[in-house]
């Protein structure tokens, strides 16, 4: 099979993995390449997602038969594999032309975890040692691989990941009986340096680990999904959890019936909630509870929280503490920072706030200036709800696409 056909097959097979970050590493050295700490987006594909890495499978020959996966054994698709040499050469050729920051390498499991890992590590060794490549490498580790191989992987890759696939063990057992939750969680354990294996390639796994969950393939509500994420961040020290809207590629009785479109709005709200957990000091219990287990689709989770807690508002940006400022809809991390440094030098009034990046169209309902409330409707839930979500609904009616889209949707740039 020629390289063009292989690339087409093995990249379309890999595209359902959402991870695209190229940040968190400062690798450099003699040879070719240098990792950029904040990561760099090189392009955006037709689905609006950032392209930063050459994202491929080493091979799509799989002996597993996971219900949701395009590569499953029972699918009669063409199968192919890259040789480590051709993949290393391709990565370098793309890198030199500034198409990519590096390689994202995953694989289907043809025989066993160790052999599969070995083949991927061969590609990585060619890149790092033969070609002296210092660009970014994200390696998907195969759960069940031996600790020695995990050590070697950590010495060669910047980021490592293993997908927990589904929010609960029960769903994993139902949809992917070949996979075992314990093995996946063990693969996500931080790799400790082995004194024998001297640090010849630099720090181990400098960009940390990540994982991914399918959204909408199984019945769990957002509460379960986010509790799982919260646990993974806290107990496994993961850098990122990715949420991937389930795209039906197979017909299977275990999977939900076909929808008209994938749950993209729900995925978007989960990412917003994830950001609140990681940067805005929210806890899952503040966003959701068993009586209200799913995120509001019409309002972002921060605004939804604010509407449930109007007793905290309106605030004066000159007086409010950092924690309080972080809770105001329309005021993000950077604006909070700017408010804190600017208010040392002058009193901030309503007309000044847009210069600090505050989205006044939203924030005004939660602010006061010189004792005067800045909203143009009463500070009550029903009024604010329509003020905050009303404008968005009007816009959605204008869009020509069948799937609901929101032009402010984040691309997964991996920044932060």
Question: Cα–Cα distance between 254 and 405 in angstroms, integer?
Answer: 28
Q: Is-contact 238 219, C-beta < 8 A? A: no
Structural tokens at position 355: 């210069």
Q: Does 405 bind other proteins (CB under 8 A)?
A: yes
Q: Does 350 bind other proteins (CB under 8 A)?
A: no
CA distances 165 to 4, 131, 200, 273, 308, Å, are 30, 34, 33, 19, 32
Question: Cα–Cα distance between 393 and 265 in angstroms, integer?
Answer: 13
User: Which of 191, 264, 284, 288 forms a contact with other proteins (CB under 8 A)?
Assistant: 264
User: Which of 76, 196, 319, 341 forms a contact with other proteins (CB under 8 A)?
Assistant: 341
**Considering beta carbons, is residue 34 or 113 the nearer one to other proteins?**
34
Q: Could you check whether the bond before residue 377 is cis, i.e. omega within 30 degrees of 0?
A: no
CB of 30 to other proteins, least distance (A): 7
Q: Does 51 bind other proteins (CB under 8 A)?
A: yes
CB of 52 to other proteins, least distance (A): 8
Question: Cα–Cα distance between 219 and 222 in angstroms, integer?
Answer: 10
* Mode of pairing for the β-strands spanning 50-51 and 53-57: unpaired
CB of 243 to other proteins, least distance (A): 13
Q: Cα angle vertex 159, ends 218, 29, to 5°? A: 165
User: Which of 80, 292, 374, 411 forms a contact with other proteins (CB under 8 A)?
Assistant: 411
Among the listed ranges 57-65, 88-96, 156-164, 217-225, the one in contact with other proteins (CB under 8 A) is 88-96
Residue with tokens 């909070």: 336
Q: Does 41 bind other proteins (CB under 8 A)?
A: yes
Structural tokens at position 27: 């690798």
Q: Is-contact 310 380, C-beta < 8 A? A: yes
Q: Does 36 bind other proteins (CB under 8 A)?
A: yes
Q: Does 319 bind other proteins (CB under 8 A)?
A: no
User: Which of 203, 208, 262, 293 forms a contact with other proteins (CB under 8 A)?
Assistant: 262
Q: Does 79 bind other proteins (CB under 8 A)?
A: no
Q: Does 30 bind other proteins (CB under 8 A)?
A: yes
* Mode of pairing for the β-strands spanning 159-161 and 209-215: parallel
Among the listed ranges 41-49, 145-153, 205-213, 269-277, the one in contact with other proteins (CB under 8 A) is 41-49
Q: Is-contact 199 193, C-beta < 8 A? A: yes
Q: Does 7 bind other proteins (CB under 8 A)?
A: yes
Q: Does 1 bind other proteins (CB under 8 A)?
A: no
Q: Does 174 bind other proteins (CB under 8 A)?
A: no
Question: Cα–Cα distance between 368 and 349 in angstroms, integer?
Answer: 9
Q: Does 370 bind other proteins (CB under 8 A)?
A: no
Q: Does 348 bind other proteins (CB under 8 A)?
A: yes
Helix (H), strand (E) at residue 136 = strand 136-140
User: Which of 80, 90, 174, 360 forms a contact with other proteins (CB under 8 A)?
Assistant: 90
CB of 406 to other proteins, least distance (A): 9
Residues 6 or more apart in contact with residue 14 via CB below 8 angstroms: 55, 56, 57, 104, 106
Question: Cα–Cα distance between 202 and 188 in angstroms, integer?
Answer: 20
CB of 371 to other proteins, least distance (A): 19
Q: Does 46 bind other proteins (CB under 8 A)?
A: yes
Burial label for 64, CB within 10 Å (0-12, 13-18, 19+), is middle
Residues 6 or more apart in contact with residue 321 via CB below 8 angstroms: none
Q: Does 172 bind other proteins (CB under 8 A)?
A: no
Residue with tokens 């693969």: 187
**Range 210-249, binding other proteins (CB under 8 A):** 245, 247
**Considering beta carbons, is residue 99 or 233 the nearer one to other proteins?**
99
The footprint of other proteins (CB under 8 A) covers: 3-4, 7-8, 11-12, 14-16, 28, 30-34, 36, 40-52, 54-55, 90, 93-94, 96-99, 245, 247, 261-262, 264, 338, 341-342, 344-346, 348, 352-353, 355-357, 399, 401, 403, 405, 407, 409, 411
């Amino acid at each position: 099979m020629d390289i063009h056909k292989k690339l087409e097959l093995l990249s379309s097979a890999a595209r359902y993995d959402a991870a695209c970050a190229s940040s968190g590493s400062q690798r450099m050295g003699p040879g070719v390449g240098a990792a950029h700490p904040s990561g760099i987006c090189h392009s955006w594909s037709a689905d609006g997602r950032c392209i930063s890495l050459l994202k491929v499978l080493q091979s799509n020959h799989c002996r597993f038969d996971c219900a949701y996966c395009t590569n499953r054994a029972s699918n009669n698709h063409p199968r192919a594999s890259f040789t480590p040499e051709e993949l290393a050469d391709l990565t370098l050729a793309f890198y030199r032309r500034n198409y990519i920051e590096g390689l994202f390498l995953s694989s289907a499991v043809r025989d066993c975890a160790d052999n599969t890992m070995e083949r991927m590590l061969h590609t990585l060794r060619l890149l790092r040692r033969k070609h002296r490549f210092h660009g970014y490498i994200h390696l998907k580790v195969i759960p069940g691989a031996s600790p020695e191989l995990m050590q070697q992987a950590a010495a060669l890759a910047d980021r490592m990941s293993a997908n927990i696939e589904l929010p609960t063990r029960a769903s994993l057992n139902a949809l992917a009986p070949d996979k075992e939750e314990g093995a996946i969680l063990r693969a996500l354990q931080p790799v400790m340096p082995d004194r024998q294996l001297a640090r010849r390639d630099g720090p181990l796994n400098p960009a940390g680990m990540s994982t991914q969950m399918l959204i909408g393939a199984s019945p769990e509500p957002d509460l379960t999904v986010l509790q799982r994420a919260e646990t993974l961040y806290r107990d496994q020290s993961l850098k990122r959890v990715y949420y991937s809207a389930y795209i039906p590629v197979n017909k299977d009785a275990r999977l939900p019936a076909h929808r008209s479109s994938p749950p993209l709005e729900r995925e978007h709200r989960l990412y917003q909630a994830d950001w609140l957990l990681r940067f805005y000091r929210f806890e899952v219990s503040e966003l959701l509870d068993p009586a209200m287990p799913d995120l509001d689709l019409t309002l972002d989770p921060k605004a939804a929280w604010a509407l449930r807690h109007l007793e905290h508002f309106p605030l004066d940006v000159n007086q409010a503490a950092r924690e309080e400022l972080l809770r105001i809809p329309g005021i993000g991390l950077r604006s909070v920072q700017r408010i804190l440094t600017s208010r040392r030098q002058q009193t901030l009034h309503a007309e000044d706030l847009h210069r600090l990046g505050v989205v006044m169209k939203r924030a005004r309902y939660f602010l006061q200036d010189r004792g005067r409330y800045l909203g143009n409707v009463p500070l009550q839930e029903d009024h604010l709800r329509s003020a905050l979500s009303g404008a968005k609904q009007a816009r959605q009616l204008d869009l020509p696409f069948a799937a609901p889209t929101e032009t402010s949707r984040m691309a997964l740039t991996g920044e932060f």
